[in-house]
Amino acid sequence: MKARTIIVAMWGIMLFSLLAGAPVLADEVVVIANQSVVADSVTQGTVSDIYMGSKTRWEDGETIRVAMLKEGRTHEAFVQDLLGSTPDRLKNFWVKAVFTGTGTPPKVFKTEADLVKYIAGTRGAIGYVASSTPHEGAKVLAVR
């Protein structure tokens, strides 16, 4: 009986380890915005409020246009480090908004280059990229 319990427990631990997978290494992520955005810095709480739909305007009244990446390490690092959430929960939040009619989801990009292009050309836009990704035309917002 004891041996069976130990074997079952070992199988459980092995299965858990396999399913849990390896931890994701976080890249350094910078928050970027369109040049029209007056602010030079934002708090982490503000970034979270923007991406969770509870803040839709900058302090000067300009509408915030939210952009995000579809997936990838930069996206995972941003969501985990700055939003304190997971990509899965962020996606679920916006699926809820879509199916209850309570919000318009962020614009989603497959590549960081496309996201930078959108930010540079859209008033009030905010997004994020890896620090190594060229982001000319967009301003970097310091996160306090």
Site residues, another protein (CB under 8 A): 16, 19-21, 45, 49, 54-57, 63, 84-86, 88-89, 92, 95-96, 98-104
CB of 122 to another protein, least distance (A): 13
Could you tell me where the DSSP H helices lie in 23-72? 44-51
Tokens (6 digits) for 32: 């970027």
**Is the Cβ of residue 24 or residue 113 nearer to another protein in the bound state?**
24
Q: How far is the C-alpha of 140 from the C-alpha of 18, rounded, in Å?
A: 39
Cβ burial, residue 129 (10 Å; 0-12/13-18/19+): buried
CA 61 to chain centre: 23
**Is the Cβ of residue 5 or residue 100 nearer to another protein in the bound state?**
100
CB of 88 to another protein, least distance (A): 6
**Is the Cβ of residue 103 or residue 133 nearer to another protein in the bound state?**
103
Could you tell me where the DSSP H helices lie in 21-142? 44-51, 73-81, 87-100, 112-121
CB of 96 to another protein, least distance (A): 5
CB of 100 to another protein, least distance (A): 5
**Is the Cβ of residue 5 or residue 54 nearer to another protein in the bound state?**
54
